[in-house]
Amino acid sequence: MPKAKQDEITRELRANLLDEIDARKNSGDTSVDDQTVSDVLRQHGHPQKVAQQFAPQYPLVASEDMPLYKSVMGYAMIILFLFALIMGGNHLIEEQSVNAFAYLFIVLGNFMENIGFVLIIVTLSFYYAGKTGELNKWRYDKWSPETLPKTNAQRIERSDSISEVTSSVFGLLILWTPLWMSQEVSDKLILAFAPEMLHWRMILTVITGYSLLSALYRLFKKYWTKTSMGIYIVEYFIYIAGFLYLSGLPPLVVVNNPQASELTPIVNIAFNYGWFFGAFVLALITASLIRKWWKL
C-alpha cells in the first residue's frame, strides 16, 4: 500500500476487526482467544487481497484497453517480422545464396531476438498511458453507422499486404545495392544492370516505391472499397504492360562476374521467358481481382 495511506488504512482495519471481535463478545462468545482472532482475520481474506481493496493497483493493461493493445501488438509484430525478413534477404543477397534453411534461421533468430524488447516497450507504454488517462482518447475509433462495412464487404488479406511490402523492400534493396553494399561485395555479385539499361533503375524504383506505399496503405485498412480495389487492379495492369514491354528490350541485367560468364546464355533465356511468365501470372491474379471487384 502507499506509505502515505498505510497509517490511515491500518487504523480503519484495526477498528473494523475490533468491532467484529466485540460483536462476538456481545453475542455470548466470551472466550476470545488467539484462535478467535485468527478466524476473524481468515474471514477477511488474504492480506494482499485486503490491501488491494483499500489501494487497488492499476493493471499493466486494463481490460477495456485489451482490444487496442492486441491491435498495436499485432502491427508491432508485423513490422518486426518484416524487419526480420529484410535482414534475412540482405544476408542472402550479400552471400549470393539461396539456402532456404539459412534464410529461415536468420529470420526466426532476428524475430525472436527482438520480440521481448517490443513486448516490454508496448506493455509499459500502455501501463503509463492508461494510468495517466491518455488512453481514453485512443480507446475507440471514431465511427458512424454510415461507415460500417456492407454485408458484401471483402476483407483485405493482411498476409497479402505483408508479402507485397516485403517483396517491394527486397526490390528496392536489389535495385540499389551500390548504396548499401560495400564495393568489394558488389564487385563479386553475379548479376548487375546492363550498362545501356541503367535508366531503368530509376523507373523501376518509382514503380516499386509506389507499390510499397500502396501496400503499406492497405496494411492498415480492413476492407476493400470499389475505388481501392479498382486502383489495385490498375496497378496490376501497369505491371503486366511493363513486363511485356521489357520482354522486347535488350536484357535488363547481365552477368557481372567474369568467373560466371558461362551463365550468360542461361540468364538471357531466363529473363526473356521470365517476363512472359511473370505477365501470365499477373494476368491470372488480375482476373481474380476483377471478379472480386465486380461483387463489391
Q: Provide the whole-model pTM.
A: 0.63
Measured in degrees and rounded to the nearest 5, phi and psi for residue 131 equal -65, -35
Write down the residue that cell numbers 539499361 correspond to: 197
Write down the residue that cell numbers 531466363 correspond to: 270
pLDDT of residue 164: 87
Residue 98 in this model has a pLDDT that exceeds 60? no
pLDDT in tens, 172-209: 888 887 777 777 766 667 777 888 888 888 999 999 99
Burial 192-203 (b: 16+ CB within 10 A, else e): bbeeebeebeee
CA atoms within 13 A on the CB side of 160: 13
Going by pLDDT thresholds of 50, 70 and 90, the confidence category of residue 234 is very high
pLDDT in tens, 103-149: 678 878 888 888 888 899 999 998 888 878 777 777 777 777 877 77
pLDDT of residue 238: 93
Report the number of secondary-structure helices (H) and strands (E) in the chain.
11, 2
Enumerate the β-bridge partners of residue 155. 223
Residue 277 in this model has a pLDDT that exceeds 80? yes
CA–CA dist 193, 167 (Å, integer):
19
Residue 56 in this model has a pLDDT that exceeds 80? no
CA–CA dist 56, 47 (Å, integer):
13
Write down the residue that cell numbers 482475520 correspond to: 41
Write down the residue that cell numbers 492498415 correspond to: 220
Q: What is the CA radius of gyration of the chain?
A: 32
What separation in angstroms does the CA of 111 have from each of 107, 171, 253? 6, 21, 33
**For 66-77, what is the mean pLDDT?**
87
Nearest Cα to 253, choosing from 182, 201, 209, 207? 201
